[in-house]
Chain A
Amino acid sequence: MSLIRFYLSNSREVAGLLGQHVLLVLVSTAIAVAIGVPVGILLTRRPSWRRPVLGLANVFQTIPSLALFGFLIPLPLLGGIGARTAIAALVVYALLPIVRNTYTGIVGIDPAIREAGRGMGMTDGELLRLVELPLAAAVILAGIRVATVVGVGTATIAAAIGAGGLGVYIFRGVAVVDDRLILAGALPAALLALAADGLLGLVERRFAWR
C-alpha cells in the first residue's frame, strides 16, 4: 500500500522515468531492426558470412550488460554519459535475436516455394518482397519481440550511466537499502515487459499465414 502512496506522491517523476524507459527501448529496438533485418537478409544471400556475423553477435550477447555500458563510456561518438551510450548498448543486445530470426525465417521457407516464385519470373528483389519477407514475417517478429522484452529489462541498468529510466529507482533503492524503492522501479519495468510481449505477440499472430 505504501507503494501506491509513493506513486501518488511522486507521480510526475514516475511518469517521467517510465517515459524515458519506453523511449530507450523503442529507439534502440527500432535501430536494431533497421540494422538487423537487412543484415539477416544479407546473410541469406551470402551464406559464408553467416558464421562470422552470428558468431560476433553471439559474443556481444555474452558481455555482461553492466560491463558493456562501462566499456562504451570512453568511446568517442557512441560513448559518454547519458542516453546515447545506453541506446548503443541496447542496440548491441537487440541485434542477435533480430539478425538470427530474420536469417532462419527466410532460410526456413520451403525451397520449392522459392523456386516457384523464381519460376514465375520474379527478380531477387520481388522474391524477397513478395515471398520471403511475408512468409518469414512471423519468425522475424518473434525475434523483435524477444529483443524488445530483453531490452526492457536491460534498460533498467542504463540508469547506472545516467540515462534515466525506471532503473533510477532500483539503483537508488539498492544504494539506500530500501526494498520499496527497488520495487517502485522493478514492478513497472516487469509490467512493461509483459505488455510489450503481449502486444507484439498479437502482431505476430496477424502475420501467421496458416
Chain B
Amino acid sequence: MESRLRVDWIKCDGYGLCGDFLPELIELDEWRYPMIQPGSVDRSHLHAAQRAVDCCPMKALLLEPVIEEPGRRAS
C-alpha cells in the first residue's frame, strides 16, 4: 500500500525537525515550515519518513495510506 506524508497545518508550529531528518522529501521555508514533495513516499524513504513523523514535537506530521476519494481531486 502506498503512503503519503501530510501536515496538520493547525498543529504544525514550525520546529522544522522533519526537514532536518528527511531533507530528501521535506524542504523547509524561511520560517521552518515544511514543504513536502508531492506524491507517495518511495519505499526507500519509508523508514526515514516514519522517523520524521515520530520526531515531530507537535504530532503534526502524518504518514497515511493513500486513499483515492471519488470526486475529490488529490492534493
A and B held together in a complex: no
By a beta-carbon cutoff of 8 Å, the part of chain A in contact with chain B is: none
